[in-house]
């Protein structure tokens, strides 16, 4: 029994690979740069226009957007549409019971969604919606199958349809490869839509930790100070012990 316990202990130390049903979708790298203030401003506008209707951001206040160079007036006129004050949290009026009745699940709070899912996952997810009449919303997602969320950005991206191709697997057999093709254009081109989603995801990354950029800057200043003090300390030590030796 003791040997079995030891084996189980070491067995638990190593993570096991997890295999999901269907073909895996590779994640596209999100062009994230949280120091790009214009991108964050555009992302904040996209967030309140398309996400804040169903999803809340309960750990963020509207007036925190002043850190992005926005004035109090700009925040009130361009980013608050529900009569809330600039000092209020980014909450939604939709009740959890109603949301579950409409979507089957309660839309998650997006305050730390980028830290939970990752920027690359969000960037890929928002670009992988396609029409699917078998779902309640009429939409599905190649990355997140049977997603309860409808494609709220479809007017911008357009409508995509799923195409399945048979591809040789190199061992004499074939496997299905899922691809999306644009069946109905939106108001934005593919490049413009990708940039729009990149700005939105950039803001979601910022939303998860608004002080991250400031903390990095402060850390650099502290390290430079410590290195400077190291040089001064060494020079003082050398001058102090010079007469002793």
193 and 228, same domain (yes or no): no
Query: How many other C-beta atoms are found inside a 10 Å radius of the C-beta of residue 147?
Result: 20
91 and 172, same domain (yes or no): yes
235 and 115, same domain (yes or no): no
The overall longest dimension of the chain from CA atoms, in Å, is 88
29 and 79, same domain (yes or no): yes
Q: What is the mean pLDDT of residues 140-160?
A: 95
Q: Examine residue 233 and state whether it is found in any structural domain, yes or no.
A: yes
Q: What is the mean pLDDT of residues 28-48?
A: 95
227 and 112, same domain (yes or no): no
Q: What is the total count of domains within the chain?
A: 2
Q: Which residues contact 134 (CB under 8 A, 6 or more apart)?
A: 140
Q: What is the mean pLDDT of residues 150-178?
A: 86
111 and 165, same domain (yes or no): yes
39 and 122, same domain (yes or no): yes
Helices (H) and strands (E) in the chain, counts: 9, 6
pLDDT reading at 156 higher than 90:
yes
pTM of the predicted model as reported, rounded to 2 decimal places: 0.78
Residue range of the domain that includes 103: 25-210
pLDDT reading at 4 higher than 60:
no
> For tokens 């506008």, what's the residue?
45
pLDDT tens digits for range 172-215: 777 778 899 999 999 999 999 999 999 999 999 999 988 776 77
121: enclosing H helix or E strand: helix 119-125
- Residue 205 confidence (pLDDT): 96
Between 35 and 12, name the one with better pLDDT: 35
Residues in the chain: 245
* Helix, strand, coil percent values for the chain (each to nearest 5): 45, 15, 40
Sequential DSSP letters for 64-111: GGGGGT--HHHHHHHT--SS--TTSEE--SS-HHHHHHHHSSPPPP-T
What sign does the CA torsion over 90, 95, 99, 102 have? Answer: negative
100 and 156, same domain (yes or no): yes
Nearest-angstrom CA–CA distance, 83 and 111: 21
Token code pair at residue 187? 């108001």
Between 54 and 188, name the one with better pLDDT: 188
Token code pair at residue 7? 């084996």
């Amino acid at each position: 029994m003791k040997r079995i316990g030891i084996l189980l202990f070491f067995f638990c130390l190593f993570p096991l690979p997890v295999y999901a049903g269907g073909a895996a979708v590779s994640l596209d790298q999100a062009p994230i740069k949280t120091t790009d203030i214009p991108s964050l401003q555009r992302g904040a506008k996209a967030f309140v226009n398309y996400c804040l209707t169903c999803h809340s951001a309960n750990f963020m206040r509207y007036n925190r957007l002043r850190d992005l160079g926005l004035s109090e007036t700009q925040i009130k006129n361009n980013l608050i549409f529900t009569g809330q004050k600039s000092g209020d949290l980014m909450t939604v009026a939709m009740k959890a019971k109603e949301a579950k009745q409409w979507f089957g699940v309660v839309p998650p709070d997006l305050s730390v969604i980028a830290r939970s899912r990752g920027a690359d996952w969000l960037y890929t997810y928002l670009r992988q919606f396609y029409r699917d009449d078998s779902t309640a919303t009429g939409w599905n997602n190649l990355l997140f199958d049977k997603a309860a969320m409808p494609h709220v950005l479809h007017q911008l991206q357009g409508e995509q349809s799923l195409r399945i191709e048979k591809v040789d697997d190199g061992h004499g057999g074939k496997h299905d490869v899922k691809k999306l093709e644009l069946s109905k254009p939106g108001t934005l081109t593919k490049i413009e839509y990708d940039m729009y989603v990149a700005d939105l995801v950039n803001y979601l990354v910022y939303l998860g930790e608004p002080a991250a950029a400031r903390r990095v800057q402060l850390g650099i200043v502290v390290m430079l100070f410590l290195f400077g003090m190291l040089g001064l300390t060494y020079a003082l030590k050398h001058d102090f012990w010079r007469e002793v030796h």
